[in-house]
């Protein structure tokens, strides 16, 4: 009892768990300071000699650790210019009709600043690309680019652009919520939708501000008569209203008389699979049940008509993908049909075919992209040389070497082989 | 003992004299003559002192130049005469055929000369390396005689200085270019084996059906795979189709280097020296060292434990 009462009197400055406190200390009635120096009982208790060091103490500055999120921000940062690189002169600027012209195939073009801002808003630049090695963003217009752009040529120059990333939508990394009264249950991704609306607004501000609303959305938002699409996009301040606003925007854009729309998506294989989401009864959710994906797929399959013209482009690659039998089958069938070859038949022993994927893709056209040709590679390498990135003489042998090392003209690999390896 | 031996000396039969007094050679000599010239038997009769018989008495020692038996070879009195005999024989041949025309050493036929160790084992004699070098110098000089004019005697003599197996005859089959214009080269490194099919083309390279960037993640490996073509500036002149298996990425890439180089030499034999200088001809013999018992790995010993 005595120990308990004493402990209550002399409290340590920092509260310590009572169990950890040594029991012996509790029995002392004198304070530590009053006790004086400890008695010398053996040689161990004698004051030890300390070696004097005559070395000058170095001024050690503690390493400043990066703050939370700083490293990730550095990793994800997109740098589009480099003042150490030489400016390249004599390159035309990219205009609205440039890419569709036949003669611009196999040439470099400078991307205008305003387009750079739009592309940045749409997250078209990636961290893995080497934009930071050059003074300004330039692009090589390939033969296939001209082919694609001439297909889009029918549409008017003013375009709305949406861009989604298939992987982000289905890997379960963004929030989702079920839509009430739907059978089978459908889901929205409010946070992603809000971000998408903001990106659409940033990238297409000029067009959206000029386009008035055709329908009455006063029930959804407090918009007055004569409001524009930009006002509609801006009316979504919180993620709860993101999906209704986005669907309203999409409904507006599909009305006759509105500007044409370009819908693009990267990572097609990721939206054709069973997503990582689960419904409230823990059943798996197919990616096509996510409303944002559904909107895109409907546009891709032609279920949603685009009365004003426009294009829906989905991209898939061999790198960021997974084995998807039905997608591969559909694409190979479409390709064979376009080339006039014999259409491949489905494998009778394959169980994992997905009819939804077949329906989504059956009306589309396929363009297979390979690496750049040697002539295009030479143009690209001349641009690198003009930027001061290539030191060696540029002849056909150098082009052939880098073309082969880059896996038959894959631009990223060519950059790795020639720009990112240090040659002393 | 010595007295008994000397007493019995005259009782020795001739055959015991004829028998070799040295160790029989490992290589049986083809023709070994008793190296003694004997004094004629009639010279052993003492001349008669009678005068009437003086005319009929033959004059002794006629036709005899030496008072005692003379050995046929100077190495008769040495304990180990075989190597010396070899030297004497070959020197005689050289003096005999010194006048014959010779070829430069680079054009002389390649001979698998017997090594010093082998020679010692064959002869069963301790041969000094300096002596061996002397003999080999003479043998190599004889080898320089123009092959078409070389006497049979020399050829036979030189076989004494060569090994039974001629590794220089062990030539790999030459790589041919088939009717499709392909040359197939095989290269190895570590555990990897590569077969490269090289045809004239535009510089496309496929490794196991994949492009270089798909086959090798490291740029260094890609570069070493095509190094034979890069070093000779032929990258845009040929197409290469490679099958490679076994080992890791580095081994596979360097096996491809060797395979491509061999196939390239079949197309353009003049490139061989350039490729050798680039290090694409010689196979790297380094492989994983085997593990030994008592060791943790090839060399690593277990840690010391107290008791």
**Domains delineated in chain B:** 81-161 (no CATH), 183-277 (3.30.230.10)
d(CA B222, CA A417): 9
Angle CA A195–A200–A204, to nearest 5: 155
Q: Band the pLDDT of A11: cuts 50, 70, 90.
A: low
* pLDDT score for B2: 44
Contact A406 B213 (CB under 8 A): yes
Contact A404 B205 (CB under 8 A): yes
Q: Which residue is closest to B229 within chain A, CA to CA?
A: A401
Residue B161 in this model has a pLDDT that exceeds 90: yes
d(CA B250, CA B257): 11
Q: Which residue is closest to A401 within chain B, CA to CA?
A: B235
**How many CB atoms are closer than 10 A to CB A47?**
7
Torsion of CA A209, A210, A211, A212, to 10 degrees: 90
* pLDDT score for B31: 45
Check: CB of residue B101 under 8 Å from CB of residue B149: yes
**How many CB atoms are closer than 10 A to CB A362?**
12
Q: Mean pLDDT across the stretch B183-191?
A: 95
d(CA A419, CA A328): 34
- Name every residue whose Cβ is closer than 8 Å to that of residue B69 and which is 6 or more positions away in sequence: B36, B37, B38, B39
A71-99 residues labelled b (16+ CB within 10 A) or e (exposed): eeeeeeeeebebeebeebeeeeebeeebb
Task: Tell me the torsion sign for CA atoms B85, B87, B90, B95.
Answer: negative
3-state SS, chain A, equals CHHHHHHHHCCCCCCCCCCCCCHHHHHCCCCCCCCCCCCCCCHHHCCCCCCCCCCCCCCCCCCCCCCCCHHHHHHHCCCCCCCCCCCCCCCCECCCCHHHCHHHCCEEEECCHHHHHHHHHCCCCCCCCCHHHCCCCEEEECHHHHHHHHHHCCCCCCCEEEEEEHHHHHCCCCCCEEECCCCCCEEECHHHHHHHHHHHHHHCHHHHHHCECCCCCCCCCCCCCCCEHHHHHHCCCCHHHHHHHHHHHHHHHCCCCCCCEEEEEECHHHHCCEEEEECCCCCEEEHHHEHHHHHHHHHHHCCCCCCCCEEEEEECCCCCCCCCHHHHHHHHHHHHHHHCCCCCCCCCCCCCCCHHHHHHHCCCCCCCCCCCCHHHHHHHHHHHHHCCCCCCCCCHHHHHHHHHHCCCCCHHHHHHHHCCCCCC
Assigned token pair, B248: 């890791």
* pLDDT score for A18: 52
* pLDDT score for A399: 93
* pLDDT score for A98: 81
Contact A407 B203 (CB under 8 A): no
Tell me the nearest-neighbour CA distance from A394 into chain B, angstroms. 14
More confident residue, B3 or A263: A263
Check: CB of residue B279 under 8 Å from CB of residue B261: no
CA B82 vs CA B22, B87, B134, B139: distances in Å? 10, 9, 15, 16
pLDDT, tens digit, for every residue of B4-35? Answer: 444 444 444 444 444 444 444 444 444 444 55
Check: CB of residue B232 under 8 Å from CB of residue B170: no
Q: What average pLDDT does the structure give for chain B? A: 85
Q: Which residue is closest to A418 within chain B, CA to CA?
A: B219
Q: Which residue is closest to A411 within chain B, CA to CA?
A: B213
Assigned token pair, A281: 């009864």
Q: Mean pLDDT across the stretch A162-172?
A: 67
pLDDT, tens digit, for every residue of A174-216? Answer: 777 777 777 778 888 889 999 999 988 988 888 888 888 888 8
Check: CB of residue B187 under 8 Å from CB of residue B266: no
* Entry field: residues in chain A: 424
- Indicate the residue of B203, B214, B226 with minimum beta-carbon distance to A407: B214
Residue A230 in this model has a pLDDT that exceeds 60: yes
Q: Band the pLDDT of B102: cuts 50, 70, 90.
A: very high
Q: What are phi and psi of A104, to 5 degrees?
A: -85, 0
* pLDDT score for B181: 94
Q: Mean pLDDT across the stretch A386-411?
A: 91
d(CA A49, CA B264): 77
pLDDT, tens digit, for every residue of B104-156? Answer: 999 999 999 999 999 999 999 999 999 999 999 999 999 999 999 999 999 99
Angle CA B156–B162–B165, to nearest 5: 115
Residue A373 in this model has a pLDDT that exceeds 80: yes
β-strand A310-315 against A177-179: which pairing, if any?
Answer: unpaired
pTM > 0.80? no
**Which of the listed ranges A84-88, A96-100, B166-170 does the model predict with the highest average pLDDT?**
A84-88
Q: Mean pLDDT across the stretch A40-68?
A: 82
More confident residue, A400 or A171: A400
Which of A391, A381, A187, A390 lies closest to A276, judged by CA? A187
d(CA A49, CA B84): 83
Q: What are phi and psi of A404, to 5 degrees?
A: -75, -40
Q: Taking a contact as any Cβ pair under 8 Å apart, which residues of chain A between 381 and 410 contact chain B?
A: 396-397, 400-401, 403-408, 410
More confident residue, B170 or A400: A400
* pLDDT score for A403: 94
Residue A284 in this model has a pLDDT that exceeds 80: yes
Helix (H) or strand (E) holding A264, with range, is: strand A261-266
More confident residue, A223 or A140: A140
* pLDDT score for A213: 86
Which of A204, A229, A34, A14 lies closest to A121, judged by CA? A204
Check: CB of residue A205 under 8 Å from CB of residue A160: no
* pLDDT score for A320: 85
Percentage above 90 pLDDT, chain B? 67
Contact B213 A405 (CB under 8 A): yes
Report DSSP state, residue B10: G
Interface mutation target, options A394, A404, A423, chain B, most CBs of B under 10 Å:
A404
Check: CB of residue A253 under 8 Å from CB of residue A159: no
Angle CA A104–A105–A109, to nearest 5: 55
- Indicate the residue of B214, B226, B233 with minimum beta-carbon distance to A404: B226
Looking at A122-189, list the stretches that DSSP marks H as alpha helix, in order from N- to C-terminal side.
143-152, 166-170
Contact B212 A407 (CB under 8 A): yes
* Residue recorded with tokens 């070389």: B150
Helix (H) or strand (E) holding A312, with range, is: strand A310-315
Contact A400 B235 (CB under 8 A): yes
Residue B90 in this model has a pLDDT that exceeds 60: yes
Contact B226 A401 (CB under 8 A): yes
B260 touches chain A (CB under 8 A): no
Choice among A232-241, A304-313, B42-51, B72-81 with the minimum mean pLDDT: B42-51
Helix (H, G, I), strand (E, B) or coil at A228: strand
**For A380, left (φ over 0), alpha (ψ -120 to 50), or beta?**
alpha
Q: Which residue is closest to B206 within chain A, CA to CA?
A: A407
ipTM of predicted complex = 0.73
Helix (H, G, I), strand (E, B) or coil at A314: strand
* Residue recorded with tokens 């930071």: A132
Contact B203 A421 (CB under 8 A): no
B74 touches chain A (CB under 8 A): no
Looking at B149-301, list the stretches that DSSP marks H as alpha helix, in order from N- to C-terminal side.
152-159, 212-215, 219-225, 227-231, 249-267, 272-277
Integer-rounded Cα radius of gyration of chain A: 32
Q: What average pLDDT does the structure give for chain A? A: 83
d(CA A329, CA A324): 9
């Amino acid at each position: 009892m005595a120990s308990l009462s004493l402990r209550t009197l002399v409290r340590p400055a920092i509260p310590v768990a009572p169990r950890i406190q040594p029991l012996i200390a509790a029995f002392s009635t004198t304070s530590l300071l009053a006790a004086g120096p400890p008695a010398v009982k053996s040689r161990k208790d004698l004051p030890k000699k300390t070696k004097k060091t005559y070395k000058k103490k170095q001024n050690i500055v503690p390493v400043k650790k990066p703050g939370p999120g700083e490293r990730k921000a550095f990793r994800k940062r997109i740098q589009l210019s480099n003042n150490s690189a030489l400016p390249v002169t004599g390159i035309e600027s990219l205009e609205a009709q440039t890419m569709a012209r036949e003669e611009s195939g196999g040439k470099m073009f400078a991307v205008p600043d305003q387009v750079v801002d739009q592309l940045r808003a749409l997250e078209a630049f990636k961290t893995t690309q080497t934009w930071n090695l050059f003074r300004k963003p330039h692009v090589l217009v390939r033969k296939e680019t001209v082919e694609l752009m001439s297909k889009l040529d029918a549409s008017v120059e003013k375009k709305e652009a949406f861009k989604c990333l298939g992987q982000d939508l289905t890997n379960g990394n963004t929030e989702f919520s079920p839509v009430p009264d739907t059978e089978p249950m459908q889901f929205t991704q409010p946070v992603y939708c809000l971000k998408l609306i903001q990106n659409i607004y940033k990238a297409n501000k000029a067009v959206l501000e000029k386009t008035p609303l055709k329908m009455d959305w006063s029930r959804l938002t407090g918009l007055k008569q004569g409001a524009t699409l930009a006002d509609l996009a801006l009316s979504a301040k919180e993620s709860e209203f993101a999906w209704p606003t986005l669907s309203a925007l999409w409904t507006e854009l599909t009305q006759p008389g509105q500007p044409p729309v370009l819908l693009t998506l990267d990572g097609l294989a990721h939206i054709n699979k069973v997503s990582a989401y689960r419904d409230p009864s823990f059943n798996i959710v197919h990616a096509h049940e996510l409303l944002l994906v559904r909107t895109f797929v409907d546009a891709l399959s032609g279920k949603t008509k685009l009365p004003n013209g426009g294009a829906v482009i989905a991209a898939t690659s061999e790198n960021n993908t997974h084995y998807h039998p039905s997608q591969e089958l559909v694409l190979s069938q479409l390709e064979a049909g376009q080339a006039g070859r014999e259409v491949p038949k489905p494998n009778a022993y394959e169980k994992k075919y997905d009819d939804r994927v077949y329906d989504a893709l059956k009306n589309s056209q396929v363009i297979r992209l390979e690496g750049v040709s040697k002539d295009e590679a030479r143009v690209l390498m001349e641009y690198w040389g003009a930027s001061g990135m290539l030191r060696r003489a540029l002849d056909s042998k150098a082009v052939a070497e880098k073309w082969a090392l880059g896996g038959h003209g894959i631009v990223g690999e060519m950059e790795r082989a020639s720009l990112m390896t240090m040659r002393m | 003992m010595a007295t008994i031996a000397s007493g019995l000396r005259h009782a020795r039969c001739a055959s015991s004299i004829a028998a070799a007094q040295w160790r029989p050679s490992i290589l049986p000599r083809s023709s070994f003559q008793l190296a003694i010239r004997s004094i004629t038997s009639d010279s052993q009769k003492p001349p008669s002192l009678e005068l009437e018989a003086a005319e009929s008495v033959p004059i002794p020692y006629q036709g005899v130049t030496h008072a005692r038996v003379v050995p046929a070879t100077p190495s008769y009195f040495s304990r180990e005469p075989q190597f010396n005999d070899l030297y004497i024989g070959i020197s005689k041949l050289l003096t005999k055929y010194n006048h014959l025309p010779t070829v430069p050493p680079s054009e002389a036929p390649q001979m698998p000369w017997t090594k010093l160790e082998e020679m010692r084992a064959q002869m069963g004699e301790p041969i000094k390396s300096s002596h061996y070098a002397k003999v080999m110098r003479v043998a190599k000089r004889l080898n320089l005689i123009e092959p078409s004019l070389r006497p049979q005697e020399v050829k036979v003599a030189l076989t004494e200085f060569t090994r039974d197996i001629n590794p220089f005859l062990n030539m790999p089959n030459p790589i041919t270019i088939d009717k499709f214009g392909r040359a197939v080269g095989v290269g190895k490194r570590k555990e990897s084996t590569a077969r490269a099919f090289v045809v004239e083309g535009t510089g496309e390279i496929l490794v196991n059906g994949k492009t270089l960037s798909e086959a090798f993640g490291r740029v260094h490996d890609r570069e070493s795979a095509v190094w034979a073509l890069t070093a000779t500036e032929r990258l845009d002149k040929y197409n290469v189709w490679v099958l490679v298996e076994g080992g890791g990425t580095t081994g596979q890439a360097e096996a491809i280097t060797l395979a491509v180089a061999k196939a390239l030499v079949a197309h353009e034999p003049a490139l061989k020296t350039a490729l050798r200088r680039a290090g694409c001809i010689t196979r790297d013999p380094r492989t994983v060292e085997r593990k030994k018992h008592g060791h943790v790995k090839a060399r690593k010993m277990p840690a010391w434990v107290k008791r």
